[in-house]
Amino acid sequence: MSAINIFIGVLLLQVIFIIYQLIIFRRQEFVWYLFYSITLAVYIVFQAEPALNPIKSTITQYEKFTLNRGCWFLFVAFYFRFGMHFCNMPHLYPRHTKILKMVTIVMFTIGSADIITSYLHGGFYFSDKYMLWIILVISAFSLYIIVFLGSKKVLFNRILVSGSMCLLAFGLMALADMKLSNHSKSGLHYMTYHMAGATLEFLFLNYGLILKSKMIEKEKNRLELLQEVLLLKERERILADLHDDVGGGLSSIRIMSDLLKNKAQGIQQTERFAEKISYTVREVSQKMNTIIWALNPENDTLQNFSEYIRQYAVSYFEGTPATIHFSSVGLENDTIVIHGNKRKMLFLCVKEILHNSLKYAQASAIEVGMELKTKSQLVIRVADNGIGIGQTNPFGNGLKNIRKRMDEINGTADISGQQGTCIILTVDLH
């Protein structure tokens, strides 16, 4: 069995492997890898054995395959595109990726133009001298990319470089053999080196693609497991919220209802219990509303969060002697995300602060300001003109709760209370 037949068998297996992987994993790199394998095969096979070339007009007495130069441009361009995705260059090396994209566009243009004109002209249309200079420049650039990727301690870079070095090494061996034999041997003999180099390169790249697919699948399974764990924790948190916020309120209502059944209670006592029941019902309703609001992913925007706090603050101070002023800066963008638990903790902190300002600080004016300092840092400032926080702090537990909640979402709470109370909440949205 000749080398060309073995190589054609390898190519068929290669194409089947790539198509199979493409169907399963649907990654763009497999598309570029398929185009690269096919154009490289055409370049090698039709030069090694012109009899296999079905387009006989591309075979002349001067050239075994007049489209080989254009095919070289195409398979190198496809290889660049494949390497970009295989090594995740758009994410790791964006500057080099931009240059590579421009280079491949130029190569696709030159290669396509050279194939079309060579086919119509019956031979090379563009001067071999000028095309040789372009090929040398691209070869030098390819060598630079190989060295650059090889210098990075990244597994897939090393695999790509190893495959490239196989093809390059056997190509140099073919050139050395041609030089030593003074071109006295057949084209098939010299192209056998390229076949061997391409086969080894395929082995390296196929191994890399299988390994990458396994790693992606493993990471996908890890994320799914993590998602399940987070979902379980979220369910436990919801149950805890329902137990603490709603269960406690309902127990209070039940106890006060039982007391109301006691006919020995006076009218004033009955009215007091009825008022407490009404207040507790409102509290339970508001807490349920907060839980539902925090769970709804449609509310995961900073703009929605800002509006929710504003509406609550206005409603809370309605009918009281205190006035509320609300302001926001940089919250107009409705695409900035703030997730459920972080929204809830921040809201509960603001709620606690407003409650303290009205009940303990005896404030007549409260200001709530929200500002997006950076793309990911949210600052909430709540200030009042009340009596401030002295040596004896009647609402110390409330401030401890604020700090505890901010710690839970990796935020900070700066509290000052000499002339009025000012609390600044800072949190990273990411």
DSSP states of 399-421 as a string?
HHHHHHHHHHTT-EEEEE-SSS-
Among 151, 198, 158, smallest CA distance to 174 is for 198
Q: Tell me the C-alpha to C-alpha distance, in Å, between residue 366 and each of 86, 356, 359, 412, 421.
A: 57, 11, 12, 21, 9
pLDDT at residue number 165: 93
Q: Is the domain covering 3-226 a CATH 2.60.120 domain?
A: no
Average pLDDT over residues 327-333: 82
**Encoded tokens for 5:** 């037949």
d(CA 87, CA 306): 42
Q: Using CB atoms within 10 Å of the CB of residue 182, give its burial: 0 to 12 exposed, 13 to 18 middle, 19+ buried.
A: exposed
pLDDT at residue number 392: 46
The residues that bridge with 371 in the sheet, in sequence order, are 329, 379
pLDDT at residue number 103: 95
Flag the least confident range among 13-17, 187-191, 283-287, 361-365: 283-287
Handedness of CA 189, 190, 196, 199 (dihedral sign): negative
Q: Tell me the C-alpha to C-alpha distance, in Å, between residue 312 and each of 275, 350, 354, 368, 421.
A: 22, 10, 10, 12, 20
Among 420, 419, 415, 418, smallest CA distance to 396 is for 415
Domain with CATH 1.20.1070 in the chain: 3-226
Would you say residue 395 has pLDDT above 80? no
For the chain, what is the total number of helices (H) and then of strands (E)? 13, 5
Average pLDDT over residues 400-425: 87
d(CA 48, CA 217): 40
Tracing tokens 């800002």 back to the chain, one arrives at 306
Give every CB contact of residue 335 below 8 A, 6+ residues apart in sequence.
301
Instruction: Render pLDDT for 344-390 as a digit per residue (tens, 0 to 9).
Output: 889 889 988 888 888 888 888 999 999 988 878 899 999 998 887 65
Would you say residue 323 has pLDDT above 80? yes
Hey, what amino acid is at 53?
N
pLDDT at residue number 145: 93
CATH number of 298-430: 3.30.565.10
Would you say residue 124 has pLDDT above 50? yes
Q: Which stretches of 262-394 are DSSP H helices?
A: 267-295, 302-317, 340-359
Beta strands 323-329 and 365-372 are: parallel
**Encoded tokens for 328:** 């926001």
pLDDT at residue number 32: 96
pLDDT at residue number 184: 84
pLDDT at residue number 298: 73
Helix axes 128-151, 155-181, angle to 10 degrees: 140
Average pLDDT over residues 93-108: 95
pLDDT at residue number 146: 92
Beta strands 365-372 and 377-384 are: antiparallel
- Mean pLDDT value across the chain: 84
Name the helix (H) or strand (E) containing 365.
strand 365-372
Would you say residue 54 has pLDDT above 90? no
Would you say residue 154 has pLDDT above 50? yes
Average pLDDT over residues 88-104: 94
Average pLDDT over residues 171-184: 87
pLDDT at residue number 101: 95
Contact yes or no for 383/366 (Cβ under 8 A): yes
Name the helix (H) or strand (E) containing 422.
strand 422-428
Domain with CATH 3.30.565.10 in the chain: 298-430
Instruction: Render pLDDT for 188-238 as a digit per residue (tens, 0 to 9).
Output: 888 899 999 999 999 999 999 999 999 999 999 998 898 888 777 767 766
Would you say residue 391 has pLDDT above 50? no
Would you say residue 87 has pLDDT above 90? yes
pLDDT at residue number 301: 83
Hey, what amino acid is at 379?
V
Higher pLDDT, 253 or 89: 89
pLDDT at residue number 291: 66
Among 226, 245, 416, 422, smallest CA distance to 344 is for 245
Give every CB contact of residue 386 below 8 A, 6+ residues apart in sequence.
357, 360, 361, 362, 363, 364, 420, 421
